Chains A and B, each alone.
Chain A
């Protein structure tokens, strides 16, 4: 079994997605979880670019345009996320997720 550039790109993006998911699920620092989510989003962006670049025929720039939108959306998401991290910091004076446990049942 031989790997072309597309396959290598997909392997890389899958690895990146898994690293991001591991980070998002295992970290207790809210900002590192945010970082994990960004890694996962960027893995998807690499997919889009790879599929567009190594696609079957010369195609419209759908993949690239999707990525440009996705980057903008990810930036907005990071802004909202950091604002919420600040909101939780105001109350508990740290951003450890283990201590954000007043809601349960």
Chain B
């Protein structure tokens, strides 16, 4: 085992620039910013935050794919590089949406907390050891709890944050207990050594307990049914830009960590779902989670009248499809899962961005608050069309190809001869259900006229407008040329 500190520093430069950026944002706001107007303070904080994210992305791309770093604590491969860049892009877009939209006191603290959360996400993308994985996950989660509760003036925000925190705290305890059992069973916290040990050991009841605990924890974090209860409340109560981060970058980083831990660390205990006789392991359990999430998410979304709750239930449904991608990843590689999670994150940031702008102009809770959006702001309505159609999976937008890649990967393993294939069929059928509730949003935004009290035009802040158009272009570009992303994973 070789421990090279310069190499470790080189690998952690993205995280270092993010933390440094957060401190600079705070320092500038505390010294120069105090005398400035709120508008200028938030513009300065967001600009500095964006600079830090750009620096981090540059370092993340430059870090290269040199394999295990510092005795296997971190791993730098194509998946790490892609995930770090993707997470930084999603956080950067969330930051760029803030000026003119964020109506909270203490903008610098908000931006700094977003940067800390992003540090957690990028570490999650590179973690290859239980301790780093746990610390990164907690750094990200704790920052997200704070972001969810940042709006101190609204009771819903505090309530959403408390519920998110209590569920997340229980999940963290489950995760730590599961990790402790894995450490006891294998004598190591390194994913690779754990995999080697599990290869030679027989399956013991203790291993089953450990797997169940880790799965429960990841079910919570990914908002997969039946551990999804926090998600609708958190999405509804949190400030829209916090909800955007919870739904996009945190999902992407979480699923990549899930993929690494389960396939690289616990791969020998996977079992099988490619035939109906299947072997026991964690794959059948993940299959149940995936099926339950898709059914519950899509059906419950039909009954929603609050647009944020609707997006939360659709996020639960998407988590089910993403779990399909996790299950198919051994054969097809991480490409489809990454593509799906990244493009889903883009569309979600966009949708919550539109909600944030409408919210700043007079409240956006019910779906009917979007009525007449096409008259009130053609730009927002046009962008929303892109985001919602991408979430629904309509070609040529990226959401369609994401679904296609994941379902094709699931079907390619053993066709319809096993539960995995039938889960993919279920997902395809439920996409039709999903189309209905997505079109309900679009009908309000594009067809229904506004109520007389709400006909005022919405002035879209320039930064938010540019960012939304940029996201829409990203979705179109990656949808037309999916190989731009997928070829990163072709070795």
Contact = CB atoms under 8 A, between A and B. Distances in A.
A33 B173 CA distance: 13
Contacts of B320: none
Nearest to A51: B184
Interface residues of B, number: 44
Contact of B183 (A41, A63, A80, A88): A63
B155 A92 contact: yes
A76 B158 contact: no
Interface residues of A, number: 45
A105 B306 contact: yes
A97 to B, nearest CB: 8
B377 interface: no
A37 B173 contact: yes
A66 B189 contact: yes
Contact of A88 (B130, B159, B181): B159
Interface string A37-77: 10011011101101100011001001101100110010011
A59 B177 contact: no
A44 B176 contact: yes
A21 interface: yes
Given A87-B152, A105-B306, A62 B170 contact: no
A69 B232 CA distance: 32
A77 to B, nearest CB: 6
Contact of B163 (A41, A70, A100): A100
A47 B209 CA distance: 13
Contacts of B306: 105
B304 A70 contact: no
B146 interface: yes
Nearest to A79: B142
Contacts of B170: 21, 24, 37, 40
B477 to A, nearest CB: 36
A54 B324 CA distance: 39
Contacts of A104: 233
A105 B305 contact: yes
B117 interface: no
Interface string B179-217: 111011001110000000000000000000000000000
Contacts of A44: 173, 176-177, 179-180
A74 to B, nearest CB: 9
Contacts of B237: 103
Contacts of B233: 103-104
B189 A62 contact: yes
B161 A87 contact: yes
Contact of B304 (A24, A41, A87, A105): A105
Contacts of B179: 44, 66
A80 B142 contact: yes
A79 B162 CA distance: 13
B162 A105 contact: no
B165 A80 contact: yes
A34 interface: yes
Contact of B134 (A37, A62, A73, A90): A73
A84 B149 CA distance: 7
Contact of B142 (A34, A59, A77): A77
A102 interface: yes
B131 A47 contact: no
A19 interface: no
A33 B166 contact: yes
Which residue of B145, B187, B305 has the most chain A CB atoms within 10 A of its CB atom?
B187
Contacts of A100: 159, 162-163
B119 interface: no
A96 to B, nearest CB: 12
A84 B232 contact: no
B236 interface: yes
A62 B194 CA distance: 14
A40 B177 contact: yes
Interface string A2-37: 000000000000000100110010000010011001
Given A47-B181, A80-B146, A81-B169, A41 B176 contact: yes
Contact of B135 (A37, A55, A62, A73): A73
B172 A41 contact: yes
Contacts of B134: 69-70, 73
A34 B184 CA distance: 27
Contact of A102 (B159, B166, B177, B181): B159
Contacts of B251: none
Contacts of A91: 155, 158-159
Given A66-B131, A87-B161, A103-B233, 8 more contacts: A37-B169, A44-B180, A47-B177, A50-B184, A62-B189, A69-B134, A84-B145, A102-B155
Interface of B: 130-131, 134-135, 138, 142, 145-146, 149, 152, 155-156, 158-163, 165-166, 169-170, 172-174, 176-177, 179-181, 183-184, 187-189, 232-233, 236-237, 303-306, 309
13 contacts: A24-B169, A37-B169, A51-B180, A51-B183, A62-B189, A73-B135, A76-B142, A77-B169, A81-B166, A83-B146, A84-B145, A91-B155, A102-B155
